[in-house]
Amino acid sequence: MSRDMTSKRPSFTDEEALDFHSQPSPGKISMAPTKPMGTQRDLSLAYSPGVAIPVLAISEDEDKAYDYTSKGNLVAVISNGTAILGLGNLGPMASKPVMEGKSVLFKRFADIDSFDIEVDTTDVEEFISTVRNIGSTWGGINLEDISSPDCFIIESRLREELDIPVFHDDQHGTAIIAAAGLINACHITGRNMEDLKVAVSGAGAAGLSVAGLIRHLGVKAENIVMCDSSGVVYEGRTEKMDQFKSAFAIKTSKRTLAEACEGADCLLGLSAKGAVTKDMVKSMAKDPIIFAMANPDPEITPEDIKSVRDDAIIATGRSDYPNQVNNVLGFPYIFRGALDVRARSINEEMKVAAAHAIAELAREDVPDEVAAAYHGARPSFGREYIIPTPFDPRLISFIPPFVAQAAMDTGVARKPIKDMESYRHSLARRADPAAAFIQGVQAHCKENQRRIVFAEGEEPAVVRAAFSFKNQGLGHPILIGREAQVQRAMEQMGIQPGSLEILNARLSDNNPLYTDMLYSRLQRDGYLKRDAQRLVNQDRNVFGCCMLKNGDADGMVTGVTRNYDVALNDALLVLDPIPGQAIIGMSMVINRGRTVFIADTSVTELPQGQDLANIAIEAARGVRALGFTPRVAFLSYSTFGNPMGERGEKVREAVAILDGMKDIDFEYEGDMNADVALNTGHKLLYPFSRLTGPANVLVMPAIHAASISTKLLESMSRATVIGPMLLGLEKPVQIASLGATVGDIVNLATIAAFDVDDVHTS
Sheet holding 631-635, edge to edge: 667-672, 631-635, 697-699, 594-599, 584-591, 720-727
Contact 654, 672 (CB under 8 A): no
Contact 521, 542 (CB under 8 A): no
Alpha-carbon distance of 559 to 10, in angstroms, equals 35
371-407 burial, b at 16+ Cβ within 10 Å, e below that, comes to bebbeeebbebebbbbbbbbebbbbbbbbbbbbbbbb
Among 239, 185, 252, 246, which Cα is nearest to 217's?
185
Contact 239, 214 (CB under 8 A): no
Pairing of strands 450-454, 266-269: unpaired
Question: Is 87 one of the annotated binding-site residues?
Answer: yes
Contact 269, 275 (CB under 8 A): yes
Sheet holding 450-454, edge to edge: 501-503, 475-480, 450-454, 555-558, 733-735
Q: What are the residues whose beta carbons fall under 8 Å from the beta carbon of 108, sequence distance 6 or more?
A: 332
Which three-class secondary structure state does DSSP give residue 323?
A: coil
Question: Is 642 one of the annotated binding-site residues?
Answer: no
622-644 burial, b at 16+ Cβ within 10 Å, e below that, comes to bbbbbebebbbbbbbebbbeeee
Secondary structure of 640-686 in the HEC alphabet?
CCECCCHHHHHHHHHHHHHHCCCCCCCEEEEEECHHHHCCCCHHHCC
Question: Is 91 one of the annotated binding-site residues?
Answer: yes
DSSP classification of residue 689: -
Question: Is 170 one of the annotated binding-site residues?
Answer: yes
Question: Is 208 one of the annotated binding-site residues?
Answer: no
CA distances 138 to 112, 142, 158, 162, 171, Å, are: 11, 10, 13, 11, 21
Alpha-carbon distance of 112 to 97, in angstroms, equals 18
Helix (H) or strand (E) holding 168: strand 166-168
Question: Is 743 one of the annotated binding-site residues?
Answer: no
DSSP classification of residue 729: B
Question: Is 85 one of the annotated binding-site residues?
Answer: yes
Question: Is 88 one of the annotated binding-site residues?
Answer: yes
Point out the residues that are catalytic: 102
| Number of Cβ within a 10 Å radius of residue 551 | 9
The alpha carbons of the chain give a radius of gyration, in whole angstroms, of 30
Helix (H) or strand (E) holding 249: none
Length of the chain in residues, anyone?
762
Contact 106, 75 (CB under 8 A): yes
Q: What are the residues whose beta carbons fall under 8 Å from the beta carbon of 466, sequence distance 6 or more?
A: 454, 457, 477, 479, 500, 749
Question: Is 583 one of the annotated binding-site residues?
Answer: no
CA 225 to the chain's CA centroid: 38
Helix (H) or strand (E) holding 321: none
Question: Is 313 one of the annotated binding-site residues?
Answer: no
CA distances 413 to 33, 164, 300, 345, 677, Å, are: 28, 10, 42, 8, 45
Per the annotation, binding residues for a divalent metal cation are 144-145, 170, 295
Residues annotated within a binding site for NADP(+) = 84-91
Give binding residues as ranges.
84-91, 144-145, 170, 295
